[in-house]
């Protein structure tokens, strides 16, 4: 079995049982629902205790539980073709240069981590149509200025 087949098996069981992601993530627990769903979809890994809980919930074999614990090959072809995913891509294409400028002005020369990162999602009722609120928080990682001489900063934090 390859990882994509395990993802399809998990989705088939979810569909057959009529489970929601909320139900599944509550049963497995242990970390952010975004990470649990991401792992079940093949983009993240579950630590061994959570892989065991997922395997029990879905009736998976030991080998399949071990697959959930493996570091996956992450990502997808770009640009994404799914309309919802494409909108995130579009957000970055259109707003990315402004986000970059504002982050660099506030923090200095660096990046926002997508590894030391968390995100919350909530539904905001609105008479014009409910809104999706995403709150993202990533650690700022300054670029290291290697080979720096005396008086030159070691990292790209904002200079006073």
| Domain shared by 7 and 58, yes or no | yes
Position 112 in a domain: yes
Sign of CA dihedral 45, 138, 23, 38: negative
Number of structural domains (the chain) is 2
Residues 10 and 63 in one domain: yes
Active site positions, annotated? 87, 90, 113
> Do 61 and 104 fall within a single domain?
no
**Which of 11, 40, 69 is a domain's end point?**
69
Q: Is 30 left (phi over 0), alpha (psi -120 to 50) or beta?
A: left
Instruction: Give pLDDT tens digits for 103-157.
Output: 999 999 999 999 999 999 999 999 999 999 999 999 999 998 888 888 888 898 8
Compute the distance between CA of residue 92 and CA of residue 45 in angstroms, rounded to an integer: 26
Number of helices followed by number of strands (H, E) in the chain: 6, 2
- 72-84, pLDDT tens digit by residue? 999 989 999 999 9
| pLDDT per residue as tens digits for the range 45-92 | 999 999 999 999 999 999 999 999 999 999 989 999 999 999 999 999
CATH assignment at residue 97: 3.30.1160.10
**pLDDT over 90 percentage in the chain:** 88
**Do 63 and 115 share a domain, yes or no?**
no
Sorting pLDDT into bands at 50, 70 and 90, what band is 35?
very high
CATH of the domain at 46: 1.10.260.40
- On the question of pLDDT at 7 being above 90, the answer is yes
- Tell me which residue range forms the domain holding 47: 3-69
- Asked, for residue 151, whether it belongs to a domain, the answer is no
Q: Is residue 129 in some structural domain? A: yes
Element (H, E) at 69: helix 62-69
Residue 133 lies in a domain: yes
């Amino acid at each position: 079995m390859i990882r994509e087949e395990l993802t399809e098996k998990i989705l088939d069981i979810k569909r057959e049982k009529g489970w929601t992601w909320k139900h599944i993530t509550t049963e497995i627990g242990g970390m952010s629902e975004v990470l649990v769903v991401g792992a079940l979809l093949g983009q993240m890994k579950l630590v061994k205790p959570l892989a065991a809980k997922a395997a029990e919930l879905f009736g998976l074999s030991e080998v399949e539980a071990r697959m959930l614990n493996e570091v996956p090959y992450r990502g997808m072809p770009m640009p994404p073709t799914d309309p919802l995913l494409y909108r995130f891509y579009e957000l970055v294409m259109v707003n990315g240069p402004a986000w970059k400028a504002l982050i660099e002005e506030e923090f200095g020369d660096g990046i926002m981590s997508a590894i030391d990162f968390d995100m919350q999602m909530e539904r905001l009722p609105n008479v014009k149509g409910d809104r999706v609120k995403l709150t993202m928080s990533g650690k700022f990682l300054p670029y290291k200025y290697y080979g720096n001489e005396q008086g030159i900063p070691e990292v790209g934090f904002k200079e006073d």
